[in-house]
Structure 1
Amino acid sequence: MTRPTFYLVTQSARVAQQNTVVLGGHLARFDRYVLSRFIMLFSFFALVLVSVYWLNRAVILFDRLIADGHSAAVVLEFTALSLPNVVKLVLPIAAFAGTVYVTNRLSAESELTVVQATGFSPWRLARPALYFGLLVAVIMSVLTHFLVPQSLGQLRQREVELSRSISAKLVREGVFLHPASGVTFFIREITDDGELRDVLLDDRRTDDRTVTYTAQSAYLLRVEESVRLVMVNGLAQTLNKETNRLSTTQFDDVTYDITAMVSGRVGRVERLYSTSTWRLLFDKDAVAEETKSSLGEVGEELHMRFQQPLLGLVAAMIGFSSLMIGGYSRFGVGKQIVFAIFLLVVVKLVEGSIVTPIRSDETLWPLIYLPSLVGFGMVAALLHSASKPFRPVRRRKDHDEVPA
């Protein structure tokens, strides 16, 4: 009896080992299948969201730049330079939407139920979602550390160049322009040699008086760093608002400095965003001085470039783990989807609540990673809840008992 028993046990162990190898191979293919679905739906949602967001941004830029007299090529250049930042903003949302959609389909078609019936826990089934989240995190790291700062740096440089453009600000015939607050400028005609004919310049920037210049012709000149308008054969009318007296002066030629009208400046936040990660990491004092920012703001910008890729991973894992707690139901997983959206909103609320303390105190920079820690804690709790092997069973009363 000993030998046959030992033989049967050995054969059973070999069969079990072979089944485990076969099942492991099938599960590896299942991982690749799920991962491919994640990537496909993620690409679709990312394309849709980027298109919508980018078109909205392009319309705003089109209205602003075309109104300032710039060409369509400039609008296209600005929208292209803003594209990496748009992609960075929508990738976590696309990762979340793709993960939720694929997991919902797998649950509705009972594919997850079949795989779970083989004995694999939700922790094991979360492997494709983890790989997918890491892929999204890598893509976002490339964007946050390299593409976005470079594109924003070029965008800032082009904005400075365009802000100094005289033709875009002033040289437009037949249109009343307002290059600065309290200033109105009009040109009836512009000749081929650059002469401005029938010019009107109304300056109301001073509280106690208004000066209006009219001239038969004018020329724009750039003298070193200043821009000047030379008006020829005209009339200057000065209205004293306190006495309501109007004085007029005819002139053969007069020079008017319009540097302040055609020069603009770019905000310090944009300059901080365009700074390289290397400088933020090793030269933060100089960056803070150049951008007129506090060390807390510099630290926030630096660590956010590491935190945002983690949010892409968190979004993917929350989308998967939230749908695993419901199990299979012929009524779908609508409640789990709403719950996943709620968890993502909670993570974003945590992210928004830590901004002010970090900017005021640079030593609190570890708080930047609190949203990711909260998100990973949610994922661990959800997967732990979904992997519980036993559920409480309600006792049923025996209604068939017959009293003695």
Structure 2
Amino acid sequence: MGTFDRYLTGQLLASFGFFSLVLVAVYWVNRAIGLFDDLIAGGASVGLFLQFTALALPNVIFAVLPISALVAILYGINRLSADSEMVVAQTAGLGPWSLAKPVMIFGVIVALMVSVLGHILVPASRTALAERGTELSQDVTARFLKEGEFLHPGRGVTVYVREITEAGELLGLFLQDRRDEATRTSYTAERALLVRADTGTRLVMFEGMAQTLDVRDRSLVTVRFDDFAYDLAGLTGAATSRIQDPRELSTAVLLRADAEARRVTGVGRAKLLSEGHLRFSEAIFAAGLPLLALGFLMLGGYSRLGLWRQIMGAVVSAILLKMLSNVAESAARDDVALWWTLYLPALATLAIGAALTFRSTLGPHPFRRVTA
């Protein structure tokens, strides 16, 4: 790698790191606000919130890296052009393909990063996030720790707590159990406590009343109590096994798309194959975006107004190609024979970038020269 190649690649990587950090921060803050409201308001700790946000970061970075690569090329080449460094390089005899070499090296580096995220880190983080979410959803105690709201911690169960003291005491409790189709029982208590035992969590109610309604003969039985323990075991009704998201599986399992993979995910073979091939196409797309941006930027000559028209052309083309990728993804998820269409937008990105770079080697008016 020559001196200019190292210099330009270093400049692009520095811009890429900066824009990646900014975009990840913006995207993370946008998602963290809703997550913070759901977890902290539900009684979860700050540590649990940080754990969830850390597990969500690989997926955020995976979505942001191609955008950061495009922005880094547009910013870096435009700055070199504005500082006349690009003019000096071209005057020294560096042609379009010489300028494209460090850009392609940069694209390969971005593609490798996207591949590591897509094939390894994102599936692992999604699995850990789903398992942690399942554990949290089965935590009955967290579902009770909301005051002034009617909650449904399990099917056929309704809970209302008027106030929660700093000591964790529940004041003004109402609990209705409709899980038995023959009877409906409503509990009211002046105060209650959640107590953890070896067999599970128990709700201990004080100074209350239980009203049991027989649905068949409409008879009501009322019992007053000084203290009563209600077993919350199995209240959530959560299943012992969960349905896995296809994005949690490894690429090899997705490409096999065997009966076991279809069973654990509950989706068809077309969706599994499309998810597996999508990880490869995303890496190719990320590698092609820098070359596409460079091809557009080299179409314009020196101008006091800068390269804004070329920048807009590169951005619009990238958006259209991404839209085409979404269309191909939707088609591949419905038809198992269309998995190959996922590679068309990514290969088209590389082809357009190479064609524009080749066009720059012909000079500003190639067709006019041929006519002359």
Read off the aligned partner of 1:125 and give its amino acid letter. L
Query: Is the partner of 1:179 in helix, strand or coil?
Result: strand
Distance 1:204 1:262, change over 3 A: closer
Q: Mean alpha-carbon deviation: is it higher for 126-135 or for 281-290?
A: 281-290
Q: Tell me how far 1:331 sits from its aligned partner.
A: 2.0
Aligned to 1:401: none
Q: What is the letter of the counterpart of residue 348 of structure 2?
A: V
> Which amino acid in the other structure matches residue 222 of structure 2?
T
- For 1:123, the equivalent position in structure 2 comes to 97
SS of 2:149 mapped into structure 1: coil
| Counterpart amino acid of residue 72 in structure 1 | V
Residues 1:185 and 2:185 are matched in the alignment:
no
Check if 1:321 corresponds to 2:301.
Answer: no
Matched, 1:52 2:29: no
CA contact (8 A) 1:221 1:228 kept: yes
The aligned runs of 1:252-401 (5 Å cut-off) are 252=225, 253=228, 255=230, 259-261=234-236, 263=238, 268=243, 271-282=245-256, 284-389=258-363, 391=365
Q: Which residue of 2 aligns with 1:250?
A: 223
Once residues 355 and 301 of structure 1 are traced to their aligned partners in structure 2, the CA distance between those partners, rounded to angstroms, is 9
Which stretch has the larger CA shift, 85-94 or 213-222? 213-222
**Preserved contact between residue 56 and residue 125 of structure 2 (Cα < 8 Å):** yes
1:58-111 per-residue CA deviation (whole Å, 9 max, x = no partner) reads 111101101211011100111111111111111001100000011111222232
Match of 1:68 in 2: 42
Further displaced range: 320-329 or 336-345: 320-329
Query: What is the Cα-based RMSD across aligned positions, in Å?
Result: 3.5
Q: Which structure 1 residue ranges, 5 or more long, are not aligned?
A: 1-26, 395-404
1:43 aligns with 2:17: yes
Deviation readout 1:211-270 (Å, 9 max, x if unpaired): 64203546567796x8665656632457899xxx9956225457576735474899856x
Report the CA distance shift for 1:303/1:250 in structure 2 as closer, same or farther (over 3 A). same
Give the equivalent residue in structure 1 for 2:144.
170
Kindly tell me: are residues 77 and 148 of structure 1, through their superposed partners in 2, closer, same or farther at Cα, counting changes over 3 Å?
A: same
User: Compared with structure 1, are the counterparts of its residues 359 and 95 closer, same or farther at alpha carbon in structure 2 (3 Å cutoff)?
Assistant: same
**With structure 2 as the length reference, what TM-score do the two structures score?**
0.84
Map 1:7-22 onto structure 2 (within 5 A): none
Of all paired residues, the percent bearing the same amino acid is 35
Write the distance in 1 (CA, Å) between the matches of 2:254 and 2:49: 30
Structure 2: how far apart are the matches of 1:74 and 1:307?
Answer: 34
Contact 2:291-2:354 within 8 A present in 1 as well: no
Contact 2:107 2:291 in 1 (8 A): yes
Q: Alpha carbons of 1:379 and 1:223: their partners in 2 closer, same or farther (altered >3 Å)?
A: same
2 CA distance for matches of 1:382 and 1:188? 67
> Where does residue 116 of structure 2 map in the other structure?
142
Distance 2:368 2:173 in 1: 89
Distance 2:14 2:319 in 1: 25
- Structure 1 distance, partners of 2:296, 2:86, is 14
TM-score by length of 1: 0.78
Amino acid at match of 1:115: A
| Residue 171 of structure 1: how far off its partner (Å) | 4.2
Alpha-carbon offset, residue 319 of structure 1: 1.6
| Separation (CA, whole Å) in 2 of partners of 1:389 and 1:188 | 77
Q: Matches of 1:191 and 1:58 in 2, distance apart?
A: 26
The unaligned stretches of length 5 or more in structure 2 are none
Alpha-carbon contact 2:141-2:201 (below 8 Å) kept = no
